[in-house]
Structure 1
Amino acid sequence: MTHEPDQVAQRYARRQVGDRYSLLRPEVWQMVHERQRAMLGLFARHGVTDLSALRLLEVGCGQGGNLLELLRLGFAPDRLSGIELLPERLAQARACLPSAVALHEGDAVQAPIADASQDIVFAATVFSSLLDDAFQQQLAAAMWRWVRPGGAVLWYDFTVDNPRNPDVRGVPLARLKALFPQGRIDRRRVTLAPPIARAVAPVHPALYTLFNTLPALRTHVLAWIAKP
């Protein structure tokens, strides 16, 4: 029987991304800014007024980029934490984040996080890298336990398969609902399909916005999954 975290580590080891996610690329900063605006809109819609008072845990924090964004938005470092499976990525996160941000290494399902200890548990393009349905469910159940009543899971992931990358698969809305059956889901479809974004944004950044006006070309979902 395969162990899904080990499989994830192997999949990441064979990825060759180069500068694909560099903020120097016009399509990347457009995607990031769009997601930030949508995220702030979700916070406002759900009555979040003081980000510095919230405890947020990111599952799959990678090199720390999302946590850095959250710091800039107003979260307090001593109330932010992250879990990362891959030690080399966690080391990069540790190097760039304030020491007050707590970081945990290893399988998130086994992480020492107290139940109902978080206002928000955040996962960005994590579940699309998990190909084992049972492990997806285990991780979702752990995340749900960590969220306090009245808090939420904050979700960002793509919904369609990438035919060029068999190591990932889209997480459609039906699957999201199955992972968090007790949650109240407020979702936004965001992010211009990356192949289109990479083609049009270098011509002129405004083309990202133009093409992104078509909902059918947006491949990701940003969701606030409220816990009653």
Structure 2
Amino acid sequence: MSEPEALAERYARRAVGDRYSLLRPDVWHTVQERQRAMLRGLVRHGFVDVAHCRLLEVGSGAGGNLLELLRAGFRPEHLCGVELLPERHAAARAVLPESVTLHAGDALALDLPAASFDIVFVSTVFSSLLDDAFQQRLAAAMWQWLKPGGVVLWYDFVVGNPRNPDVRGVPLSRVRALFPAGRLSAERVTLAPPIARAVTRVHPGLYTLFNLLPPLRTHVLCWIAKP
């Protein structure tokens, strides 16, 4: 079984219910924190006129991240996504403007021009890829699609979940190995989801309090600049 086939099988057996619903306080705290960090990073890396930026999201899911980027000022005709799972691709197509380009299937099968994107965005994808060689090939393709002076925008967790063998944390050392030519800057974000779910049941404001402790943050937001 290929890694994309295995990944589709692993996703098919996940039963998440409403765990990622934006109506849950732990989820909207997590999403809003990540949004703020991304917006700060865009400005810090010189992307102040995002209407002219071309962005590709690898693993674009149901289109939620691309919708956020539209609200941040990216133009739909400059946004592109690729999603492996047909049902998620269909969900994204139903909510995004037609001028957003969406591809279905394995990202490595895409025939995209080299150096065609200012930003290549990948969010909680590599933690679901358990084949190291496939990870390396995907990272190399992403790097090829990126323009010189562009950035890979990476969001993923560094701490594994021992109760879920279908995922594994991706430490910063691995990110550096995947993009050896990149200049990497990173910040630790996102209160550990089990803690976030527990404390926000008591009061939503406790997310912010507990998130003040860096050891309790399980994800990193990385900017990997291409010289």
Q: Indicate whether the TM-score tops 0.5.
A: yes
What CA distance in whole angstroms lies between the structure 1 residues aligned with 2:22 and 2:153? 23
- Write the letter of the residue equivalent to 2:30: M
What CA distance in whole angstroms lies between the structure 2 residues aligned with 1:25 and 1:202? 9
RMSD of the TM alignment (CA)? 0.6
Deviation, structure 1 residue 186: 1.0
Q: State the match for 2:134 in structure 1.
A: 135
Q: In structure 2, the residue corresponding to 1:71 is in which secondary structure?
A: helix
After superposition, what is the alpha-carbon deviation per residue over 1:3-23, rounded to whole angstroms, capped at 9, x for unaligned? 100000000000001000000
What CA distance in whole angstroms lies between the structure 1 residues aligned with 2:56 and 2:201? 34
Deviation, structure 1 residue 113: 1.4
Structure 2: which 5+ residue stretches go unaligned?
none
- Write the letter of the residue equivalent to 1:211: F
Q: State the match for 2:66 in structure 1.
A: 67
Q: State the match for 2:5 in structure 1.
A: 6
What CA distance in whole angstroms lies between the structure 2 residues aligned with 1:226 and 1:133? 22
- Write the letter of the residue equivalent to 2:12: A
What CA distance in whole angstroms lies between the structure 1 residues aligned with 2:68 and 2:46? 20
Q: State the match for 1:21 in structure 2.
A: 20
The equivalences for 1:213-224 within 5 A come to: 213-224=212-223
Structure 1: which 5+ residue stretches go unaligned?
none
The equivalences for 1:184-223 within 5 A come to: 184-223=183-222
Deviation, structure 1 residue 109: 1.0
What CA distance in whole angstroms lies between the structure 1 residues aligned with 2:153 and 2:107? 16
What CA distance in whole angstroms lies between the structure 2 residues aligned with 1:93 and 1:47? 29
Q: In structure 2, the residue corresponding to 1:81 is in which secondary structure?
A: strand
What CA distance in whole angstroms lies between the structure 1 residues aligned with 2:138 and 2:40? 26
Residues 1:182 and 2:181 are matched in the alignment: yes
- Write the letter of the residue equivalent to 2:79: L
Deviation, structure 1 residue 47: 1.3
Q: State the match for 1:107 in structure 2.
A: 106
Deviation, structure 1 residue 202: 2.3
After superposition, what is the alpha-carbon deviation per residue over 1:114-171, rounded to whole angstroms, capped at 9, x for unaligned? 1100000000000000000000000000000000000010000000111111000000
What CA distance in whole angstroms lies between the structure 2 residues aligned with 1:204 and 1:211? 12
- Write the letter of the residue equivalent to 1:40: L
TM, length-normalised to structure 1:
0.98
Q: State the match for 1:85 in structure 2.
A: 84
Q: In structure 2, the residue corresponding to 1:21 is in which secondary structure?
A: coil
Q: State the match for 1:152 in structure 2.
A: 151
- Write the letter of the residue equivalent to 1:61: S
What CA distance in whole angstroms lies between the structure 2 residues aligned with 1:165 and 1:3? 20
Q: State the match for 1:173 in structure 2.
A: 172
Deviation, structure 1 residue 206: 1.3
Q: State the match for 1:122 in structure 2.
A: 121
What CA distance in whole angstroms lies between the structure 1 residues aligned with 2:82 and 2:101? 9
What CA distance in whole angstroms lies between the structure 1 residues aligned with 2:34 and 2:15? 24
What CA distance in whole angstroms lies between the structure 1 residues aligned with 2:87 and 2:23? 23
TM, length-normalised to structure 2:
0.99
Could you list the structure 1 runs, at least 4 aligned residues long, displaced by more than 2 angstroms after superposition. none
- Write the letter of the residue equivalent to 1:34: E
- Write the letter of the residue equivalent to 1:126: V
